[in-house]
Amino acid sequence: MISETVKEEKKLKFGLFLGCNISFNRPDVEQAMRKIFPALGVEIDDLVGQSCCPTWGTVPSIDIVGWCAVAARNLALGEEKGIDLMTACNSCYGSLNEARHKMLKNPEIMSKVNEILAKIGKKYEGKAKCRHVAWVLYKDVGLEKIKESIKYSLDGITVAVQPGCHFLWPSEVYPDKEKDPFNPKVLRELCEALGAEAPYYTKLIDCCGMGALRSTDPEKSFILVREKLECIKEEIDADLIVTTCSSCLIQLDDAQEKLRKEGKINFSIPVLHYVQLLAICMGFDPQQVAGICVTPRDEVIKMILEGGKR
């Protein structure tokens, strides 16, 4: 890469797009973001008045213009302020960017959307986009800054990463792209920056089974999460699963407990969102930034605070 000349200290600012799951189910993820970003020099805007992205089972299943209109209202909240959105939920990331891609590709959709937005005195020009927190940390904040900012490191700890489908595909619609979406490296490198080992495992890019699949047929959904967990256990015997998606977080954490109860698995691997893990490493209160879970996390958090495994 060409080295950049004197990096100007540009103030980073993003609209924090929460989404339903983080707002109500996993607010500890929200709290983690509210802690780490200011500490890393990233300003957060609350994006007051934001709504559901809209998630896949709602307007996207009814019609495309409606989907885009709801998404455009959210995106416009950032556009009005001249900032991009930032999310820690892959579903939001996918829905907002797919919608934006459709509007940019098809002027007809864009103009229909703006006709609707006009009724509430808003407009969307396609400028503001939704960034993923993982990419903001990786690209805008940078691995060096992350390394400098942590108090605790993950020495000797093995993590299994779960970037999640909407972090990768369809690569065409996303503002940031993995070099090889079938062998994603960003989350692995982010974890390595914290001192962890984040090895490859065979089912790294496989779907966790969350979302529509889980609501339509939980039993079938559990087949996938079980396959994934077993692969993690067998191939890399991870101490911890780290994801950058709130949906994957819920599925891996929650379904794991159900599988244990049904006697389908006999192990337990704690699950954290990456922003939670980073917040812990930066020294924030685990109760606030990682206080909600089904599969117990205490041991691994203790391990981290005691300086890793070694």
Partner 1 sequence: MEITEGVPPVINLTEVAEREKEEFEKKVSELIIEFGAENLLACMQCGACASICPLARVGFEWYNKKLIKAILIGMKEELLDDPTPWACVACNRCTEICPRQVAPFEVMFAMRRLMVEEFAIPTLAIEGLRSLYEHGHAVYMTGREARKKVGLPENPPSTDSDEKALQDLRTILKNTKLAELGLIPME
Smallest gap from residue 57 Cβ to partner 1 (A): 5
114 lies in the binding site for partner 1 (CB under 8 A): no
119 lies in the binding site for partner 1 (CB under 8 A): yes
Q: Which stretch binds partner 1 (CB under 8 A): 142-150, 169-177, 254-262, 300-308?
A: 169-177
Cα–Cα distance between 133 and 16 in angstroms, integer?
9
Cβ atoms of 239 and 197 within 8 Å: the answer is no
216 lies in the binding site for partner 1 (CB under 8 A): yes
**For partner 1, which residue of 36, 40, 42, 70 counts as binding (CB under 8 A)?**
70
Whose tokens are 């559990």? That residue is 222
287 lies in the binding site for partner 1 (CB under 8 A): yes
The residue (of 95 and 256) whose beta carbon lies closer to partner 1 is 95
Smallest gap from residue 144 Cβ to partner 1 (A): 29
Q: Give the length of the chain.
A: 310
43 lies in the binding site for partner 1 (CB under 8 A): no
Cβ atoms of 204 and 184 within 8 Å: the answer is yes
**For partner 1, which residue of 66, 126, 199, 283 counts as binding (CB under 8 A)?**
66
Cβ atoms of 29 and 246 within 8 Å: the answer is yes
Paired tokens of 137: 């940390």
Number of residues that bind partner 1 (CB under 8 A): 69
Cα–Cα distance between 115 and 97 in angstroms, integer?
20
Cα–Cα distance between 256 and 264 in angstroms, integer?
9
**For partner 1, which residue of 12, 27, 156, 189 counts as binding (CB under 8 A)?**
27
Angle ∠(246,247,253) on CA atoms, nearest 5: 85
Distance of CA 303 to the CA centre of its chain: 24
**For partner 1, which residue of 165, 193, 249, 278 counts as binding (CB under 8 A)?**
165
**For partner 1, which residue of 43, 217, 298, 299 counts as binding (CB under 8 A)?**
217
3-class DSSP assignment, residue 217:
coil
Binding mask 219-258 toward partner 1 (x if CB under 8 A, else -) reads -xx-xx----------------------------------
Residues linked to residue 45 through DSSP beta bridges, in sequence order: 15
**For partner 1, which residue of 40, 69, 86, 269 counts as binding (CB under 8 A)?**
69
Paired tokens of 208: 């966790």
* Residue 60 one-letter amino acid: P
Q: How many CB atoms lie within 10 A of CB 192?
A: 17
Interaction site with partner 1 (CB under 8 A)? 18, 20-21, 23-28, 30-31, 34, 46-52, 54-66, 69-70, 73, 94, 116-117, 119-120, 122, 165-166, 168-172, 181, 205-207, 209-213, 215-217, 220-221, 223-224, 287-289, 291-292
